[in-house]
Amino acid sequence: MFGKIKTYLLVTKPGIILGNLISASGGFLLASRGRIDVVLFLSTLIGLSLVIASGCIFNNIIDRNLDRRMTRTKGRVLVTGRLSPQAALCYGTTLGIAGMALLAATTNRLCVSTVLAGFIVYVVVYSLVLKPRSGYSTLIGSLAGTAPPLAGYVAVTNGFDMGAIVLLFIFGLWQMPHCYAIAIFRFSDYKSANIPILPVRQGIATTRNHMIIFMLAFTVAAMMLTFCGYTGYRYLGVTVVICLFWLYTAWIGHKKGNDRTWSRQLFINSILTITLLCIMMSIDFTVPFAGDMLLACKP
């Protein structure tokens, strides 16, 4: 019984769900500015959890043949046969429908549309179409990673303002060095599975240069929350420190030759960076200079 429950839990990729809930909470609490609707908060997170779990299940179904060729993923439940593709498909569909129904009942159309768009980009555009055949898969996949914080934000605001745009850039830019760090650390896996990600296509040295550029852009985007009036100077101070530390790690690795150790450290630092940013934007919020929505939706 417990083994079956564990199987159904593992196929949803709990670590990915948790990471996305942290970013969704950051977006929600930033938009709430201290006036937290607990019911809306919980229903948004639960609905998102179900949809993200559904997306991860569909990703596992699509990737199961690739997973057989990678050391990191060859023990996944669909590869080993502990769960059939048919059962996973039914499970994923049920979770997705339940999550979207909960979001539709408790949030707003803009939030639902954001989550649905993220699901389609991740499952169809990234997993099904681009990942096995295009070097641009990481860039497109990063857009799916922006859906949870944006959904959390617009669940509160019911509109798309400059704060939402800045969040889109923050989380989209963060995804790139984060994913590249994984690809370098697991380089042999990606190469054996013939996945055309940047380190496999153009080499680790080129990837390092791209990572530093994305990290610099991420740093600027993260500071824009303060410059646009959405967060205070405590947030700005923490952002500068952690981003400089992340960049320093990338630069030191750029100078040294141990790619595996460096990329693993960079991966850990990327998680630390985005987690601290989410915490700080949740507690050091301000009223923005201009409150007009670029896109507003009626309830």
Which candidate, 91, 110, 136, 94, places its Cα nearest to that of 44?
Answer: 110
From CA 225, how far away is CA 230, in angstroms rounded?
5
DSSP per residue, the chain = -HHHHHHHHHTT-HHHHHHHHHHHHHHHHHHHTT---HHHHHHHHHHHHHHHHHHHHHHHHHHHHHHTT-TTTTTSHHHHTSS-HHHHHHHHHHHHHHHHHHHHHHS-HHHHHHHHHHHHIIIIIIIIIITTT-TTHHHHHHHHHTHHHHHHHHHHHSEE-HHHHHHHHHHHHHHHHHHHHHHHHTHHHHHHTT---HHHHH-HHHHHHHHHHHHHHHHHHHHHHHHTTSB-HHHHHHHHHHHHHHHHHHHHHHHSS-HHHHHHHHHHHHHHHHHHHHHHHHHSB---S----SEE---
Give the rounded distance of the alpha carbon of 143 from its chain centre. Answer: 8
Quick one: CATH architecture of 1-159? Orthogonal Bundle (1.10)
Instruction: Identify any residues that bridge with 298 across adjacent strands, giving them in sequence order.
Output: none
pLDDT(245) > 80: yes
Q: Which amino acid is at 100?
A: M
- At 255, list the tokens: 């100078």
| Residue recorded with tokens 């040294």 | 256
* Whole-angstrom distance, CA of residue 27 vs CA of residue 278: 8
First CA to last CA distance, the chain: 43
pLDDT in tens, 21-34: 999 999 999 999 99
Beta strand 295-296 with 159-160: parallel, antiparallel or unpaired? antiparallel
> For residues 95 and 49, is the Cβ–Cβ distance under 8 A?
no
Q: Are 159 and 107 in contact (CB under 8 A)?
A: no
C-alpha–C-alpha distance, residues 297 and 50, integer Å: 24
Whole-model pTM: value is 0.91
What is the rounded distance in angstroms from the CA atom of residue 152 to the CA atom of residue 191? 36
d(C-alpha 2, C-alpha 256), whole Å: 46
- With cut-offs at 50, 70 and 90, classify the pLDDT of residue 287: low
Least confident of 106-110, 203-207, 272-276: 203-207
- Given this model, what pLDDT does residue 256 score? 64
pLDDT tens-digit series, residues 93-147 = 999 999 999 999 999 999 999 999 999 999 999 999 999 888 888 989 999 999 9
Provide the β-strand partners of residue 90: none
CA angle 121–124–128, rounded 5-degree value: 130
Torsion sign over Cα 185, 191, 194, 199? positive
Question: Percent of the chain having pLDDT more than 70?
Answer: 94
Tens of pLDDT, residues 138-177 = 989 999 999 999 999 999 999 999 999 999 999 999 999 9
Give pLDDT, residue 94. Answer: 98
